[in-house]
């Protein structure tokens, strides 16, 4: 009989008590609380860097489009106020390493919407959450344009039709 009691006590002592289990859960919760903000920050940084990369690729694709279509620029409908169609820029974006086939692909994974702009204005990015100050500061830090406007003065303009 004593042997059975000893065996039962040994089995009972090998498990975890409720207090030990709660301590383990508290440690895991504390680690998660420390790691979560860092993960969210890195996700925002990756979204902003992807947006910056794609806006830059659209700008380069527009320059290549202009160089290839010098003669048709005066009669080209995309030179108006409407955004450049992605279908016109798609072959150039593929050459730049961006496998983009639609406007949804262009904005996918950026945390907002990328507007290609037209031949007279630059591409820009609109974040989906305008009140997120950390994302807005990252956009500013990486130099991602967030509104439409004339071509930046630092970039080289495309050739004119007479050249």
The pLDDT, as a whole number, for residue 23 is: 96
- The crossing angle, in degrees rounded to 10, of helices 86-95 and 18-68 is 100
The whole-angstrom separation of Cα 45 and Cα 121 is 26
CB atoms within 10 A of CB 51: 28
pTM of the prediction? 0.68
pLDDT digits (tens, 9 = 90+) for 22-57: 999 999 999 999 999 999 999 999 999 999 999 999
Most confident of 47-61, 69-83, 148-162: 47-61
- pLDDT of 4 > 80? The answer is no
pLDDT digits (tens, 9 = 90+) for 76-127: 554 556 778 888 899 999 999 888 888 888 888 888 899 898 888 888 998 9
List, as one string, the DSSP characters of 89-104. Answer: HHHHHHHTT----SHH
Strands (E), 74-158: 112-115, 124-127
List the alpha helices (DSSP H) in 15-132.
18-68, 86-95, 103-107
- pLDDT of 7 > 70? The answer is no
DSSP letter (8 states) at residue 155 = S
Q: Domain boundaries in the chain?
A: 2-141
């Amino acid at each position: 009989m004593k042997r059975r009691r000893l065996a039962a006590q040994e089995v009972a002592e090998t498990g975890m008590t409720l207090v030990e289990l709660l301590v383990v859960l508290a440690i895991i919760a504390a680690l998660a609380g420390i790691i979560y903000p860092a993960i969210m920050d890195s996700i925002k940084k990756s979204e902003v860097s992807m947006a910056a990369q794609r806006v830059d690729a659209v700008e380069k694709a527009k320059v290549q489009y202009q160089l290839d279509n010098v003669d048709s620029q005066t009669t080209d409908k995309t030179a108006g106020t409407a955004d450049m169609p992605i279908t016109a820029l798609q072959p150039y974006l593929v050459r730049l390493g961006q496998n983009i086939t639609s406007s949804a692909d262009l904005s996918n994974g950026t945390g907002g919407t990328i507007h290609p702009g037209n031949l007279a204005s630059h591409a820009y990015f609109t974040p989906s959450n305008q009140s997120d100050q950390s994302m807005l500061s990252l956009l500013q830090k990486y130099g991602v344009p967030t509104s439409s406007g004339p071509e930046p003065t630092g970039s080289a303009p495309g050739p004119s039709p007479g050249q």
